[in-house]
Structure 1
Amino acid sequence: MENSIKKSEQKHLDFVESKIEMAEVDAAKKIKKAKGDQSEIQKNFFNDVRLKTSTYSGQMETGVSVRQQQQLLSERENRWKNAARDLGTLKRLDQNPYFARIDFHEEGEKHTETIYIGLASFTDNPDDYLVYDWRAPISSIYYDSGIGQMTYDSPAGPQKVDVKLKRQIEIKDGKIETIFDTDEALGDNLLLENLSHQSDTKMKSIVTTIQKEQNQIIRDTDSDLLFVQGAAGSGKTAAVLQRIAYLLYRYRGNLNSGQVILFSPNQLFNDYINEVLPELGEQNMVQMTYYQYTNRRVPHLSVETVGERFTETHEKHQQKVVDFKNSLDFFKLVGKYAHHLNKENFQFKDIKFEQNVFISKEEISEIYYRFNQNYNLRNRLEATKEELSKILNRHIGSEMRKKWVEETIEGLDQQQLQAIYAKFGESMDNPDKEYNFLAKKIVQNAFRNVKKAITRGRFVSINRQFVNLLRNVPRIADLSKYGISEQEWNDGVEKSIDRLKNGKISDADISIYLYLYDLISGKRPDVHMRYLFVDEVQDYTPFQLAYLKFNFPRAKFTLLGDLNQAIFTHESSQSLLKEMETMFDPEKTRVIELNKSYRSTEQITDFTKHLIPDGSKIQSFARTGELPKINVVGDVDSGIDSLKETIQTNDQANDTTAIIAKSLDECKRVHEKLEQKGIKSTLIQTENQRLVKGVIVVPAYLAKGLEFDAVVMWNGSKQEYPTERDDQLVYTICSRAMHRLDVISIGELSPLFNDVPKDEYQLVTK
């Protein structure tokens, strides 16, 4: 029976592939013809244009003729691009046209229908779909149902169907490898097969194994805020990348990849995921980290990096100040302060000319507040620029009559005159006009920096304004509400000032700094961005997310993360969702929880879920493997020996090993020790490096979102991870492992492992 099914499916596959091959030949011919036509039109462009310029009607005819030729060129170029895109799709389908088959009976129809699902649609003719795109509405039957009755959303409305067969088909090099029918196998065999593979330096598409709960994320089009809380390894990032591909498919023609932006945890992660969308035939979205987003706007300041933020330590009272700055309350406070600047307290700088005050800050302030209360900050600043420009122009007019100008003109040689006329205009017959022309250009050139200062708003001192805001906080906020004394706040202000003097700014301050600048300068938000995604959202602050909402007001937000993996926002991450919900319409807000972890073996998942308070919610996927191993050693050298043994074992299995330590300094020490032992490894020091095969040594804060065949947690000791504040970090490290997990502890093991049942790991002591 099984052989006959496989034989029948292979026959159908051969038929589909023959049709794809024919379509590839046809597409190649279309490309060749379109290119030839385009080349011919370009070659004969001016021969085919009717040039008549002696009369008005002739000029009109010439213009129409040129336009016709341009349209012909554009049409051939579009034909070439469409044919090239079709050929690219066909090549992706060539050896693996589809991965699933479903048979279903639609209510009201006489016959049962069979469809095949693949990475893209393929038709033999406009009405005969041999393969359906996985994103097509009908394909949701495969992802959302088992055998039996179900309803799916079609363009014509909800459709009821009776699913008769759901078949997963694995194809390799044009041959059917395996077939799984859901009514014959328990669990998801194809998913199990895929998860058993080794890790890669690039994330792959999951369209063949999308789970029902992931499909809800992918196909959501109604939510303004979609919040995905997913356990480590639950496939939330992969599902969201498929969501982007789905949205680009669903709104083809009305949405392009430049209108979708993804904020990811670090550049290393960006590099890890950058092949998923191209694999699906889509262009990558705009992609950056929040650090990149803020840092590019302040080239004169050094913004605190992810590594610096991770190693930074705060006393309890300092942490309260940082938490307040990161809050939604502080975001509202900045808005209130900026509104107050309509009446007073705006900080200006003198506009100088050759080290002398040209327009004083007092004069600028008087102009700024001269306008009535109806002016908002943007209008008030623009009106001030106009008044300052008038002052400059009047000064230029009077300066033209000064002696120094006359002397400058007299001293111009012929070459300098020619340079001026070449740039600004031809020489004149009238000596007075020529003198005035030259005088004006000379004075304008002398005052060019003053003009720049006015047009670019350099008379506004954002540094002074930022400091003024911080110093005014005790007068506009009740600090006791946040457990902060006025002295503690003022101490924090002085630290911010010291950093600014040294050309630096903290992670907590940069968003405040930029938001204040945007408000007082009237910077317009980006209204073209339609979808905004934030990965590892648990490490974002409410202020940062509110600032993103301010900058992208028309974008629908998809936020994904695991509140149990908050490295930077340990305390506030649990209240993040409540604060975010206040920024969006409650009826357009949706929360989806993914509690099943697919990344790791059942043994690793069961081990890691004991490391965090809410770990009991996490469900493991039925993929068996070795028990995690805890090695307790007496000193560093013994730890390195144990590490060497583990690496050699993993190498024999061709597994990629990630050694994850708490800090970069510790990673450097481990890397050096391995070199001395003759073990080759790659040290990941910055987020701009790329992942490689083999052994890598990486600090915890750069490992977020990544996965590896085997993980070794270096020095999981009590000394390194002493308190409950480290539980989420330890969980994050351990949950990177797919097949093997080792913990090496130098000295007494961290108490964070005490809640793991003894029968769920192997203990080795030396």
Structure 2
Amino acid sequence: MMLVTGTGLDGERAYLEECRAALRGMLDGARLNVVVGEHVAGDRYSAERLGRHLKSLAKQLAEEPEGPAFFGRLDFGDGPDAGDHRGQRYYVGRRHISGRTGEQPLVLDWRAPVSTVFYQADTRDPRGVTVRRRFGWSGNPPALTGFEDERLGEGGALRTASRILAEEIERPRVGPMRDIVATIQPEQDELVRAGIGESICVQGAPGTGKTAVGLHRAAYLLYTHRRRLTGSGVLILGPNRAFLGYVSAVLPALGEMDVEQTTLEELLAPELPKGSDGEATAVVKHDARMAEVLCRALYGRVVRPGGPLAVPDGAYRWRVSEEELDRVVSDTLREAPPYGIGRERVLSRLTALLRVRAEARGRTTDTAWTRGTARAVREFLNAVWPVARPREVVAELLSDPAVLARAADGILTSDEQSALLWARPPRSFRSARWSAADAVLLDEVAGLIERPRGYGHVIVDEAQDLSPMQCGAVARRSEHGSLTVLGDLAQGTTPWAARSWPEQLAALGKPGAATVALTTGFRVPGAVVTLANRLLDELAVEVPRTRSFRGDGSLRFHPTSDLAGTTARVVREALAHEGSVGLVAADDALDELAGAVRASGVEIATLGEDSHGARVTAVPATLAKGLEYDHVVVAEPAAVVEAEPKGVNRLYVVLTRAVSRLEVVHTRPLPPGIAPPI
């Protein structure tokens, strides 16, 4: 690294050009390595692996998002607390930029160990740093516009925020979510850098950066434990497809392309459900007790042997008594293996028993003999431990009152059993119209038959909305890995929403995980945070109140007798400000309001994959969670509250989507908790 010397703006711009040239050189080198690697001698497997790695690296560099080469600089002093970094200067950026051969890197990756100091050092504990420099950027491609120095080695009062830091946090946004590597706060950094074996739960109010923490933790773990996670993988579960589209640009901007991002519904049932359930039925299907009902239904298919077994072997017949057969089946059931493994275990034990008898009579039991004997035993096996398919098991349970009664006896009430039964059972499980709630039942049975693929780390956002059965599906996939659980109890909107993190973590299979609360809202302005904190009193959960990092923002109420006309006017006026605009309303009222906005001459997009570059987006209240807009117009809050049982929680979500300005348009009285003070 460079030794510490004075550097003005011109010197920093010259260094920027050196970094950009180095990046171009890295790309050229990666492309050359792909060509050279094709001719490297070695076995076919090694050559293929090398080729994939080199092509992946070249692709990653070629698709590098246009962004600042660095956002920070650390100057270390000569004191003993600087350690091995004494007298050194480090630039910190989104990715590593190599220097000349034999020289130190021009830019350190923000995830490198020494980069921790950039986020954690302060005047009380400078960690050997004399100056921390933050850089300001603007335009596209970004131009270096200035910098700001914090002299940590001089002691004195702690600085609450820098101008550049505040401007970056408050910068208007149109399009997908950005990374926050330039603005990570110390409490966020500690969570991001938590060890791979540590499961954590982040309780965070809107705007506290919990989603960003989760995404950056994924990037950090992949950087730090690349080899370990390459095989097991990282899975990110979001609440809906719109949310995933919104956050989709974060990890690629950090250089991480190979992370699986999906919703739990798509993970469990890639094909779209064709059926639907009433709320009462869905509540029962998502109840934790269904796991025991399904287990009984599956293992209830195993029956006691109905007599002895005779296996032909040429002119001889090997016999196994009913008592011996019953012992093999009973012993296997007591061991409680996955259903599919249990079936194979019974087969192998009976085959081994027959082998012992055959060899005792001098029979040669080669591979062909073993295969033939196993085929002969399978008829018996199919009778006592039949093959089970998840859809077949669940369809039988939901179609046959007698089967359901046996499996649910002492677990579900008669009314709950009635709610589960299909009104018109299909002819077979193949023609069943499965609902979204059925996906958790099918996954539970599939997990009982055979363990699903596990991941090295799973990040689940909006985890407060997961049902016990959904938690079980996540737990199966992280049994031997770790979890990052993100959520806010105040934003729970499902009928089964969690009211306690310890209970939810136990359902997720990580009862010992620590819960950490983020209480500083960085993206939500003070005016909106104050309103949200008032509404907390109306919710049936206990969460810490939020304080805003920002004292700005505006909140206006618009009582009117013309909801559509006033909404269109307010949206039109919002376009005079910089940034994105979200129109949020109850789902069944949104089309009419969006139509009024279009009729007023304003282009408005429908929430989806094609809406990320739009200035104005129409957002159904039920899909607003996790999204944010610079300017939010909420139409008729009373209708949002009345639309669902947890409507007050939904309103809390809707009102906290604004990161600069919030406008509330209403014809009806405002719900308790959000009426402006008199």
In the alignment, is the contact (CA less than 8 A) between 2:475 and 2:509 conserved in 1? no
Q: Name the CA distance, whole Å, in 2 between partners of 1:338 and 1:225.
A: 32
Counterpart residue number, 1:446: none
Given the alignment, which residue of 203, 224, 227 partners 1:250? 224
- Computed over aligned residues only, the root mean square deviation of the Cα atoms, in angstroms, reads 4.0
**Which has the larger displacement, 647-656 or 371-380?**
371-380
Counterpart residue number, 1:624: 552
Asked if residue 97 in structure 1 is aligned to residue 70 in structure 2, the reply is yes
Amino acid at match of 2:286: N
What displacement does 1:674 show?
3.0
Given the alignment, which residue of 601, 625, 632 partners 1:711? 632
What displacement does 1:489 show?
1.9
Q: Decide whether aligned partners of structure 1 residues 496 and 238 sit closer, same or farther in structure 2, where only a CA change above 3 A counts.
A: farther
Counterpart residue number, 2:236: 262
In the alignment, is the contact (CA less than 8 A) between 1:257 and 1:286 conserved in 2? no
2:550 aligned counterpart, secondary structure: coil
TM-score between both structures, scaled by the size of structure 2: 0.77
Q: Name the CA distance, whole Å, in 1 between partners of 2:43 and 2:407.
A: 65
Q: Whose helix fraction is larger, Structure 1's or Structure 2's?
A: 1
Counterpart residue number, 1:238: 212
Asked if residue 142 in structure 1 is aligned to residue 65 in structure 2, the reply is no
1:630 aligned counterpart, secondary structure: strand
Q: Name the CA distance, whole Å, in 1 between partners of 2:391 and 2:291.
A: 25
Asked if residue 164 in structure 1 is aligned to residue 85 in structure 2, the reply is no
1:208 aligned counterpart, secondary structure: coil
Superposed CA offset, 1:145-165 (max 9, x none): 212336xxxxxxxxxx34433
Q: Decide whether aligned partners of structure 1 residues 292 and 20 sit closer, same or farther in structure 2, where only a CA change above 3 A counts.
A: same
Q: Name the CA distance, whole Å, in 1 between partners of 2:670 and 2:578.
A: 29
In the alignment, is the contact (CA less than 8 A) between 2:232 and 2:456 conserved in 1? no
Asked if residue 573 in structure 1 is aligned to residue 573 in structure 2, the reply is no
In the alignment, is the contact (CA less than 8 A) between 1:596 and 1:620 conserved in 2? yes
Alignment of 1:174-323 (within 5 A): 175-181=144-150, 186-221=160-195, 223-256=197-230, 259-296=233-270, 302=274, 304=276, 314=279, 318=280, 322-323=282-283
Q: Decide whether aligned partners of structure 1 residues 476 and 550 sit closer, same or farther in structure 2, where only a CA change above 3 A counts.
A: farther
Superposed CA offset, 1:684-724 (max 9, x none): 3xx56543412221211111111011111111237954998
In the alignment, is the contact (CA less than 8 A) between 1:499 and 1:505 conserved in 2? no
In the alignment, is the contact (CA less than 8 A) between 1:303 and 1:510 conserved in 2? no
In the alignment, is the contact (CA less than 8 A) between 2:198 and 2:483 conserved in 1? yes
Asked if residue 668 in structure 1 is aligned to residue 628 in structure 2, the reply is no
What displacement does 1:582 show?
6.0
Q: Decide whether aligned partners of structure 1 residues 531 and 746 sit closer, same or farther in structure 2, where only a CA change above 3 A counts.
A: same
Amino acid at match of 1:8: T
Asked if residue 640 in structure 1 is aligned to residue 564 in structure 2, the reply is yes
2:659 aligned counterpart, secondary structure: strand
Alignment of 1:347-746 (within 5 A): 372-376=329-333, 377-379=339-341, 381=343, 461-467=393-399, 470-472=404-406, 474-477=408-411, 479=412, 485-486=413-414, 488-494=415-421, 503-519=432-448, 522-527=449-454, 529-569=455-495, 572-581=497-506, 584=509, 586-587=511-512, 589-613=513-537, 614=542, 617-626=545-554, 628-634=555-561, 638-663=562-587, 665-684=588-607, 690-717=611-638, 721=642, 725-746=646-667
Superposed CA offset, 1:97-133 (max 9, x none): 3423343544385944432211123343546343221
Q: Name the CA distance, whole Å, in 2 between partners of 1:245 and 1:302.
A: 36
In the alignment, is the contact (CA less than 8 A) between 1:722 and 1:750 conserved in 2? no
Asked if residue 115 in structure 1 is aligned to residue 90 in structure 2, the reply is yes
Q: Decide whether aligned partners of structure 1 residues 97 and 496 sit closer, same or farther in structure 2, where only a CA change above 3 A counts.
A: farther
Amino acid at match of 2:74: R
Q: Decide whether aligned partners of structure 1 residues 719 and 689 sit closer, same or farther in structure 2, where only a CA change above 3 A counts.
A: closer
Q: Name the CA distance, whole Å, in 2 between partners of 1:108 and 1:751.
A: 55
In the alignment, is the contact (CA less than 8 A) between 2:97 and 2:106 conserved in 1? yes
Counterpart residue number, 2:357: none
In the alignment, is the contact (CA less than 8 A) between 1:245 and 1:282 conserved in 2? yes
Counterpart residue number, 2:314: none
Counterpart residue number, 2:313: none
Q: Name the CA distance, whole Å, in 2 between partners of 1:499 and 1:84.
A: 52
**Which has the larger displacement, 286-295 or 491-500?**
491-500
2:182 aligned counterpart, secondary structure: helix
Q: Name the CA distance, whole Å, in 2 between partners of 1:552 and 1:75.
A: 27
1:192 aligned counterpart, secondary structure: helix
| Sequence identity (%) | 19
2:201 aligned counterpart, secondary structure: strand
Q: Name the CA distance, whole Å, in 1 between partners of 2:188 and 2:113.
A: 15
1:202 aligned counterpart, secondary structure: coil
Amino acid at match of 2:295: G
Amino acid at match of 2:485: L
1:254 aligned counterpart, secondary structure: helix
1:187 aligned counterpart, secondary structure: coil
Counterpart residue number, 1:23: 22
Q: Name the CA distance, whole Å, in 1 between partners of 2:465 and 2:340.
A: 33
Q: Decide whether aligned partners of structure 1 residues 496 and 7 sit closer, same or farther in structure 2, where only a CA change above 3 A counts.
A: farther
Q: How many residues align?
A: 598
What displacement does 1:168 show?
1.6
Q: Name the CA distance, whole Å, in 2 between partners of 1:545 and 1:268.
A: 22
Amino acid at match of 1:378: G
Q: Decide whether aligned partners of structure 1 residues 608 and 256 sit closer, same or farther in structure 2, where only a CA change above 3 A counts.
A: same
Superposed CA offset, 1:328-381 (max 9, x none): 344345335544443479xxxxxxxxxxxxxxxxxxxxxx98962234532454
Q: Decide whether aligned partners of structure 1 residues 230 and 274 sit closer, same or farther in structure 2, where only a CA change above 3 A counts.
A: same
Amino acid at match of 2:245: D
Superposed CA offset, 1:19-60 (max 9, x none): 435535644664565466568x59xxxxxxxxxxxxxxxxxx
Q: Name the CA distance, whole Å, in 2 between partners of 1:225 and 1:87.
A: 32
Q: Decide whether aligned partners of structure 1 residues 17 and 694 sit closer, same or farther in structure 2, where only a CA change above 3 A counts.
A: closer
- Higher-Rg member (1/2): 1
Q: Name the CA distance, whole Å, in 1 between partners of 2:343 and 2:45.
A: 45
Amino acid at match of 1:269: F
**Which has the larger displacement, 215-224 or 76-85?**
76-85
1:253 aligned counterpart, secondary structure: helix
Q: Name the CA distance, whole Å, in 1 between partners of 2:533 and 2:487.
A: 16
Superposed CA offset, 1:527-567 (max 9, x none): 3x211111111111122111221244222111101111111
Amino acid at match of 2:91: Y
In the alignment, is the contact (CA less than 8 A) between 1:234 and 1:594 conserved in 2? yes
Amino acid at match of 2:556: K
Counterpart residue number, 1:8: 7
Q: Decide whether aligned partners of structure 1 residues 518 and 82 sit closer, same or farther in structure 2, where only a CA change above 3 A counts.
A: closer
Q: Decide whether aligned partners of structure 1 residues 176 and 651 sit closer, same or farther in structure 2, where only a CA change above 3 A counts.
A: closer
Amino acid at match of 2:616: V
Q: Name the CA distance, whole Å, in 2 between partners of 1:95 and 1:751.
A: 46
Q: Name the CA distance, whole Å, in 1 between partners of 2:32 and 2:663.
A: 60
Show structure 2 runs of 5+ residues with no match.
153-157, 306-324, 334-338, 349-385
Amino acid at match of 2:111: R
